[in-house]
Structure 1
Amino acid sequence: VFGDIDDDGDLDMVAANNAQISGQSSLVLYRNLGTTLETTPSWQSNDGKRYYACCALGDVDLDGDLDLAGGGWWEPLVVFENRGGYYNTLPDWSWSPPNSQDLVCEEICFGDIDNRLSPTVNSERHPVTPAHRLIYLNQRSIRKIISISYSGGQINQSSYCYSAIDGWVSFDSIFTGPDTVRVTYQYSKDIDLLVTNWVNDRGNFYFLNEGPGIEESVVKSRSYHLPTIVRGPMVIPKDLGSYTIYDVTGRIMVKDRFDPVYLNPGVYLILSQGKTHKLVVIR
């Protein structure tokens, strides 16, 4: 499962390791190093499991980061709270039926079951190219895609598909060059936990989120995570606002351009909205 665990703008990966044959069963985290994932996990759970089978990401406690849920065969369901981009090795929450044989978890996910709160509307921009047509929205538990537009106008529903659970959108071959899509959508902040169970006569399970209520609002997101490593030209989205790119000597290279920007390989700094981002351009 992919998600931005440490809020650095790129996608990390979590996975469930099953030790049915041999080895240690655990949930593992591979952080994104810019364009590749770690080859050795930087974190793994240490809770004595043997049959982890699935995992899911979602903001259970409404603090803006992705918590981690996991489940397996004949073992408790667990949730690890995200604490500033890190998880403890032991879960913060767990549950098992009185008879552990009644739970053989095959899939686990987050979603809004009880519709306790009205959906929240978000609008955001993401860069795309003809070769890279899949984006991850800033939120998950998508209720509805309201509209998607790009330089060519509105994008028809037949030209994209999306995951309501994981929050990605994949586009057909409609882009002729680097572009920016604007996605307006509804999502649920108050998410519940759903579990499929292989034990037919026991049934599946769901767990309602009993956290405090939150205020629904329309958010016009102006946040944009710039990539750390870029190959070839890049397009700076207009909603980033005024920006300046410097080389390592402090020389201004580009300022407030929103067409494709070409830079020689090297290390650069982007200053925008009072923040500085490091940028590495490779061949």
Structure 2
Amino acid sequence: MKTIFAILFVCSSIHLFAQSKVTDFSPDGRDSITYIPSTQGSGFKVDSDVPFGTQPSWQSTLDRQVGGLVFGDYDNDGDLDLAVGNYFSNSYPPINEYETQIYRNDNGTLTTTPAWVSTDMRSTTDVRWADVNKDGFIDLLAANGNQSLVPSVIYFNSPSGLETTPSWVSNDQNWTVGAAFCDVDGDRDLDLVFANQGETNIPTRPINILFNNNGVLSTTPGWASADQMITNTVAMADLNNYELTSEAKEFSASGIGGVFHLPFVPVYSVDSIIVNGNITNDFCSDAISGWVSLGFTPTQGSIVRIVYTYMPKADMGACKWVNYQSGVYYNFGGTMGITPTWTVGNTNSQKGMAWADYNLDGYLDLAIGGSGVATVLYINSHGALINSPVWSSASANNSTQDLIWGDVNKDGYPDLTLVHFGSRRVEIFINRAGFLDTEPTWTYNPATSSTAIAYGDVNGDGWLDLAVGTARTPVLLFLADPAIIPVELNSFNSLVEDNLVNLKWSTTTETNNKGFEIERNVSFQTGVSNNQAEWSNIGYVEGKGTSTRIIEYNFTDMLIQAGKYQYRLKQIDFDGSFKYSRVLDIDYAGPSGFFVEQNYPNPFNPSTKIKYITPTESYITLSIYDVLGSEVKSIRSGLVKAGTHEVNISASELSSGIYFYQVKMLNAKGNIYSSTKKMIIAK
């Protein structure tokens, strides 16, 4: 199922650009490198858990200095397009074109030349999609800056398309290097946070927040940090989970693609996706841009209901350059603190910062990129970052420009991806059930300096694809190929019936599969999560060795008492190697939660009543079955609120005999509960 340390290597071309050297500057102007570029990049991988090859699947035709990349469905056709922000610098030979561009996605393939180009050139260091004016269309932010302190801009989107000349222009005097959207003050619109620096004479600037008032974004900062420094990244997250907010959003499918944009970011979790009443786990998503991409295209008119949790009033992480400490500014109920409450405790040169729950304990952990020092990871222990890193990268010549999280192998654990400017490479560190590889699992060395990375799902297969931007060559795209991973776990779901949980999973291919150990982690105290060491083995299911057909498995466990139950599969090869599945979370409320009473009267003719209790707002189905298990009558299907519900049933059209009624509940977290009881019609 997994090829251990199978090494692949593709050599770069030895042909040089006329044997001449070039000089590149990073988007923030802090780093430069002089080198002889090659005509082709090179890549290698040490593990089959990364679904990318060692050469790109696509590249653009234009040479640009790429400051930022971001995926989003700007034309609302159901697939992800790629926005590229380009910058200008003192690089030599110079690249004098630096418009903002979009490579449109046409049926799973990006155009090789931009389908949309801005009319202005302002030296862009970061790009972000968000529905700023709340009209249902995502707008494009270009965060700008150079020695001239050019303003940042927003290109607004509408039914007539994305404007090419920006109608929103910031009124500040900053070199903005990074940006983030978040509902900082909790008024249900997206505010804009800028990471800033200055120019040569005065190199420092405060971090700024520009507030949104019901879709109207201020052009001037409404908040500034008390400290002034050189900041390259801002990353928003609810450190202690106090302000997590869940909501449901329904979409009508276009029938063309399976991409849907959530209105609020950053996203903490995608809790459930229901397509025409059927739950699906076949998707990937991005927490920062807020898109969800299904691994299939729903038929036109299908109702897609997405329940998700986002983070208003989030805390702000800030990554800072040498002589300044990276840290976290706490948000106090919608008011951002003006100085950091937590800092790293050193003034190392750092670039790039991102949050993710890397160990699946329910709290977001913080990765910070290193330039000249290692990239590090700080664990979030129940709402507080610990003071020392729990992980450091062991790769050589660190020159991180940016980093992002993404679950590239769909095992449920976020993997860490870095882009290095000076050492000209992109790295992926695989997360193995809460333990990151210290050496990169996959590496690609572009022909020139690398500057930007972004994840998207270009071909709509539900797997993350990787885009890479460089300082003077075309944009590159690596399409995920699930076939590279020898075993593909097709599904892993749970069904709770009374106090039993039935775990079901299937594989589409198997190679050398000995079997599956079933592991469980239980917490009976609300709000307390168990750690990695408390997983226990509760069973074993034998595998099928090698197979290319779909194989289904199941395992039943008893829920002892109310609490949080987590399940995962440990797939074991015959050679002893293993890998973990994603984690299933089940919040079992016990007898006081979901409950179905016996119908009354029973026996009956022709009417009876069925009463059931739902602990939360849930999707309910109620059906009657005959003794052969065939459905003979559908009573109810739809969303109900939390509480006690009573249904009057008339069975006048049914003959005398024994029947069964079943109530199924699907809650917002995607857990399915079911209860079946016998009823008798006596005519």
TM-score range, shorter chain: 0.5 to 0.7
The residue aligned with 1:9 is 136
Tell me the CA shift for residue 183 of structure 1: 0.9
8 Å CA contact retained: 1:54, 1:71: yes
The alignment status of 1:144 with 2:269, answered yes or no, reads yes
Q: Which amino acid aligns with 1:114?
A: N
Tell me the CA shift for residue 202 of structure 1: 3.2
Pairing partner for 2:328 from 202, 206, 220: 206
Q: Which runs of 5+ in 2 are unaligned?
A: 1-127, 198-203, 336-615, 619-637, 640-683
The residue aligned with 1:115 is 241
The residue aligned with 1:252 is none
Q: Which amino acid aligns with 1:121?
A: S
Pairing partner for 1:53 from 170, 177, 183: 177
8 Å CA contact retained: 2:186, 2:334: no
The alignment status of 1:172 with 2:307, answered yes or no, reads no
User: CA offsets per residue over residues 37-91 of structure 1, 9 Å max, x none?
Assistant: 1111111112222x21121111111111111111122321100111232233321
Tell me the CA shift for residue 209 of structure 1: 1.0
Aligned length: 207
Give the TM-score of the pair, scaled to structure 1: 0.64
Counterparts of 2:299 and 2:160 in 1: how far apart (Å)?
23
The residue aligned with 1:43 is 168
8 Å CA contact retained: 2:182, 2:312: no
Tell me the CA shift for residue 219 of structure 1: 8.4
SS of the equivalent of 1:26 reads: coil
8 Å CA contact retained: 1:59, 1:67: yes
The residue aligned with 1:94 is 224
Counterparts of 1:207 and 1:188 in 2: how far apart (Å)?
15
Q: Which amino acid aligns with 1:150?
A: V
Identity fraction in percent: 29
Counterparts of 1:5 and 1:133 in 2: how far apart (Å)?
23
The residue aligned with 2:312 is 189
The residue aligned with 1:106 is 232
The alignment status of 1:66 with 2:190, answered yes or no, reads yes
The alignment status of 1:31 with 2:156, answered yes or no, reads yes
**Aligned pairs (5 A) from 1:124-143:** 124-143=249-268
8 Å CA contact retained: 2:181, 2:191: yes
**Aligned pairs (5 A) from 1:257-276:** none
Higher relative contact order (CA 8 A, sep 6+): 1
Classify 1:46/1:121 alpha carbon distance in 2 versus 1 (closer, same or farther; 3 Å): closer
The alignment status of 1:19 with 2:146, answered yes or no, reads yes
8 Å CA contact retained: 1:19, 1:25: yes
Tell me the CA shift for residue 188 of structure 1: 2.8
User: CA offsets per residue over residues 133-178 of structure 1, 9 Å max, x none?
Assistant: 221113223222221111382212xx21112233221122343545
Pairing partner for 2:210 from 65, 69, 80: 80
Tell me the CA shift for residue 96 of structure 1: 5.1
Higher Cα radius of gyration: 2
User: CA offsets per residue over residues 8-54 of structure 1, 9 Å max, x none?
Assistant: 2211122211224xx542221211132421111111112222x2112
SS of the equivalent of 1:169 reads: strand
Classify 1:30/1:174 alpha carbon distance in 2 versus 1 (closer, same or farther; 3 Å): closer
Classify 1:143/1:87 alpha carbon distance in 2 versus 1 (closer, same or farther; 3 Å): closer
8 Å CA contact retained: 1:111, 1:193: yes
Q: Which amino acid aligns with 2:231?
A: C
Tell me the CA shift for residue 95 of structure 1: 1.5
User: CA offsets per residue over residues 215-258 of structure 1, 9 Å max, x none?
Assistant: xxx889xxxxxxxxxxxxxxxxx99xxxxxxxxxxxxxxxxxxx
Q: Which amino acid aligns with 1:16?
A: A
Counterparts of 1:83 and 1:177 in 2: how far apart (Å)?
35
Counterparts of 1:96 and 1:25 in 2: how far apart (Å)?
23
User: CA offsets per residue over residues 258-278 of structure 1, 9 Å max, x none?
Assistant: xxxxxxxxxxxxxxxxxxxxx
Classify 1:111/1:172 alpha carbon distance in 2 versus 1 (closer, same or farther; 3 Å): same
Classify 1:68/1:116 alpha carbon distance in 2 versus 1 (closer, same or farther; 3 Å): same
Tell me the CA shift for residue 182 of structure 1: 0.9
8 Å CA contact retained: 1:136, 1:168: yes
Classify 1:152/1:82 alpha carbon distance in 2 versus 1 (closer, same or farther; 3 Å): closer
SS of the equivalent of 1:164 reads: coil
Classify 1:27/1:123 alpha carbon distance in 2 versus 1 (closer, same or farther; 3 Å): same
8 Å CA contact retained: 2:181, 2:266: no
Classify 1:115/1:152 alpha carbon distance in 2 versus 1 (closer, same or farther; 3 Å): closer
CA RMSD in angstroms comes to 2.7
Classify 1:166/1:113 alpha carbon distance in 2 versus 1 (closer, same or farther; 3 Å): farther
Classify 1:107/1:219 alpha carbon distance in 2 versus 1 (closer, same or farther; 3 Å): farther
8 Å CA contact retained: 1:116, 1:190: no
Higher strand share: 2
The residue aligned with 1:161 is 284
Classify 1:177/1:84 alpha carbon distance in 2 versus 1 (closer, same or farther; 3 Å): closer
Q: Which amino acid aligns with 1:204?
A: S
SS of the equivalent of 2:195 reads: strand
